[in-house]
Chains A and B, each alone.
Chain A
Amino acid sequence: MDETVGPSEMIVHLGPQHPMQPGPFRLNLKLKGETVVDGDIELGFIHKGIEKILENKTYLQGIPIVDRICYLTAMTNEEAYVGAVEKLADIEVPEKSQYIRVIVEELSRLQSHLLGMGEFGEFIGFVSMFMYTIKEREDILSLMDMVTGARITHTFLRFGGVRDDLPEGFKEKSAAVFASLREQIADYEKLFNHDEIYKLRCFGVGILDSKTARDLGVSGPALRATGVPFDIRKDEPYLVYKDLDFKVCTATDGDIAARINVRLEEMLEAMYIIEQCLDQMPSGPLFFEDSLYGVRTPVMRVPEGDVYHRVEDPRGEMGFYMVSDGSDKPYRVKIRGPVYPTMQALPPLIKGTTIADVAAIAGSMDGCTSEADR
């Protein structure tokens, strides 16, 4: 951004600490009156150096580290990491474990979308929205707690399987939670469709058209809200997604409301996927009997090579590029988070809008600075 200010222009720094932010980053805005003329983002306030840390940990020790890239999407981060190692070392996963993985990952998608929407509600001044969604999210987290033993950072996936089987009573408990969540989602929709303030703030604001979104490299709900049906679960199926019936949720308007609607629909789809998994769940072991790997495989050497494995994170495309030199530690790990390009796309997106809309637009993109910084 050009730092020189013209007549009646001023530069405003939003952040690094600001209530509208999902984590510390600095948004520099050049304003003319209330209109945003230009903007740029500064990152690095919570740069943790996870890529370097992973180079110094054995493969198994890396699993809890990738959880901490972003706690909301811990499960999909693990899937991307573990999946990449499995591809490199050519490890097979039994079908039962694959189904359990899909269940926990879709639960992760549900809770991420719920928190994202709650935060978004807060950003547009609708603070009760956060109270509504956080309650439902807590129920989802209890379900995850039942399976993994932790609310947010699970360390649940293992090379060639998962740590534990589903507990008894999970199906019944999830049915009860989903029934209440479905009701709530219907309520949210009603709320959004009848609230005049919501309509004024969200319809036709922050429009991202499909061509720009492709040029900016956006993925996930923000891209699907522009009408591009790009979903890694369909395009590059991993686990058992190719056996499951689900649709890629898209919208056409590309504005804030469209992004929220896509998330609401995706939550319904996620519940549908989990129910299918519970119905189709095969019996069998969590690890293949002749597999070298189990719940506690301390050291593993991975053959030389490199792989780029990507999964559909709640926010978009999550990819791990891993290089192995044949030792028990990865030679290089590159984490390609979905939020990184989404945050990068924010300055062009807010150009020309008013400063009051900046928080709404940023909230609807569902960013997470922790993941962008890594």
Chain B
Amino acid sequence: MDAKTIIDSLVNKFQDSLVDAKVDSDIRVSAYLEPEKIVEVCQYMKDELLFDHLSSETAVDYPKRNEIVVVYHIGSYDHSVLMTIKVKLPRDAPVIESVVPVYWNANWYERETYELFGVKFNNHPDLKPLVLPDELMGDWPLRKDYEGFPNRTARNLV
């Protein structure tokens, strides 16, 4: 399965919600997606296009554009094309549907994205902090406006 076929198939199926879908190279494709469609698109990719391996899931903060972009890297064990899906969320209330029902290992990635960026995942089985201490919840350390050292380190909180 090559990159062109994959992107064509996705664009055909989800014309209205995919923006800027493009082939970056033989093994990389990327697209922006409307937040409501994420679970549906992931399910379609897993069932029809053999994308059965969620490589990673994370977020990027853009304070100037007032956006948080959630980024999914979805690969496959059977072919070498890797799809990057980006979903733009408003920075003041980032909420998106969880993809754990489709990709089981999204669980920890979503917990981490939640504690570091404050992105809330609906219908996540157990949305609680993973690597941060409880005291740092609500600070969202990987956001660009995080104050950080010296006032908000774990040592000063205990």
Residues of chain A whose beta carbon lies under 8 Å from any beta carbon of chain B: 43-44, 47, 49, 51-52, 214-217, 219, 223, 228, 230, 235-236, 306, 308, 310, 317, 319, 321, 323, 331-332, 334, 336, 340-341, 344-345, 373-374
- Closest A residue to B103 using CB positions: A217
Q: Can you offer 21 A-B residue contacts whose CB atoms are under 8 A?
A: A43-B131, A44-B131, A51-B142, A52-B141, A52-B148, A214-B52, A216-B104, A217-B53, A217-B54, A217-B103, A219-B53, A236-B27, A306-B84, A308-B28, A308-B56, A308-B82, A321-B58, A323-B60, A336-B73, A341-B105, A373-B131
Question: Would you call B133 and A344 a contact (CB within 8 A)?
Answer: no
Question: Would you call B107 and A319 a contact (CB within 8 A)?
Answer: no
Residues of chain A lying within 8 A (CB to CB) of residue B58: 321, 334
C-alpha spacing A345/B53, complex, angstroms: 14
The SS class assigned to the A binding surface is mixed
Question: Would you call A44 and B104 a contact (CB within 8 A)?
Answer: no
Question: Would you call A308 and B108 a contact (CB within 8 A)?
Answer: no
Residues of chain B lying within 8 A (CB to CB) of residue A340: 108
Residues of chain A lying within 8 A (CB to CB) of residue B27: 236
C-alpha spacing A52/B141, complex, angstroms: 8
- Closest B residue to A343 using CB positions: B108
C-alpha spacing A331/B129, complex, angstroms: 24
Given contacts A214-B77, A235-B80, A331-B60, contact A44 B53 (CB under 8 A): no
Residues of chain B lying within 8 A (CB to CB) of residue A47: 131-132
A-facing residues in B35-73 (Cβ within 8 Å): 52-56, 58, 60-61, 71, 73
Question: Would you call A230 and B108 a contact (CB within 8 A)?
Answer: no
- Closest B residue to A46 using CB positions: B131
C-alpha spacing A119/B61, complex, angstroms: 40
Question: Would you call A217 and B105 a contact (CB within 8 A)?
Answer: yes
C-alpha spacing A332/B82, complex, angstroms: 20
Question: Would you call A319 and B53 a contact (CB within 8 A)?
Answer: no
A-facing residues in B122-155 (Cβ within 8 Å): 129-133, 141-142, 146, 148
Question: Would you call A334 and B56 a contact (CB within 8 A)?
Answer: yes
Top 3 closest A-B pairs, CB basis?
Answer: A217-B105, A336-B56, A44-B131
Residues of chain B lying within 8 A (CB to CB) of residue A216: 104-105
Besides A308-B56, A321-B71, A332-B142, 4 more A-B contacts (Cβ < 8 Å) are A44-B132, A319-B55, A341-B105, A341-B108
Instruction: Report the minimal beta-carbon distance from A184 to chain B, rounded to whole angstroms.
Output: 33
C-alpha spacing A266/B35, complex, angstroms: 42
- Closest A residue to B84 using CB positions: A308
Residues of chain A lying within 8 A (CB to CB) of residue B84: 306, 308
C-alpha spacing A43/B133, complex, angstroms: 10
Residues of chain B lying within 8 A (CB to CB) of residue A217: 53-54, 103-105
Most buried by A among B54, B55, B56, B105: B56
Residues of chain A lying within 8 A (CB to CB) of residue B53: 214, 217, 219
- Closest B residue to A47 using CB positions: B131
Residues of chain B lying within 8 A (CB to CB) of residue A310: 55, 82
C-alpha spacing A331/B84, complex, angstroms: 18
- Closest B residue to A51 using CB positions: B142
Given contacts A308-B84, A319-B56, contact A344 B107 (CB under 8 A): yes
- Closest A residue to B116 using CB positions: A51
Residues of chain B lying within 8 A (CB to CB) of residue A334: 56, 58, 71
Instruction: Report the minimal beta-carbon distance from B131 to chain A, rounded to whole angstroms.
Output: 4
- Closest A residue to B130 using CB positions: A43
Given contacts A43-B131, A44-B132, A344-B107, contact A319 B73 (CB under 8 A): yes
- Closest A residue to B60 using CB positions: A332
Instruction: Report the minimal beta-carbon distance from B135 to chain A, rounded to whole angstroms.
Output: 12
C-alpha spacing A217/B130, complex, angstroms: 18
C-alpha spacing A273/B158, complex, angstroms: 50
Residues of chain B lying within 8 A (CB to CB) of residue A374: 131
Question: Would you call A52 and B142 a contact (CB within 8 A)?
Answer: yes
Residues of chain A lying within 8 A (CB to CB) of residue B104: 215-217
Residues of chain B lying within 8 A (CB to CB) of residue A344: 105, 107-108
Question: Would you call B132 and A236 a contact (CB within 8 A)?
Answer: no
C-alpha spacing A219/B55, complex, angstroms: 10
Question: Would you call A308 and B77 a contact (CB within 8 A)?
Answer: no
Question: Would you call B130 and A49 a contact (CB within 8 A)?
Answer: no
Residues of chain A lying within 8 A (CB to CB) of residue B133: 44
C-alpha spacing A98/B58, complex, angstroms: 30
- Closest A residue to B27 using CB positions: A236
Residues of chain A lying within 8 A (CB to CB) of residue B108: 340-341, 344
C-alpha spacing A215/B107, complex, angstroms: 12
A-facing residues in B64-103 (Cβ within 8 Å): 71, 73, 77, 80, 82, 84, 103
C-alpha spacing A374/B142, complex, angstroms: 13
Instruction: Report the minimal beta-carbon distance from A333 to chain B, rounded to whole angstroms.
Output: 10
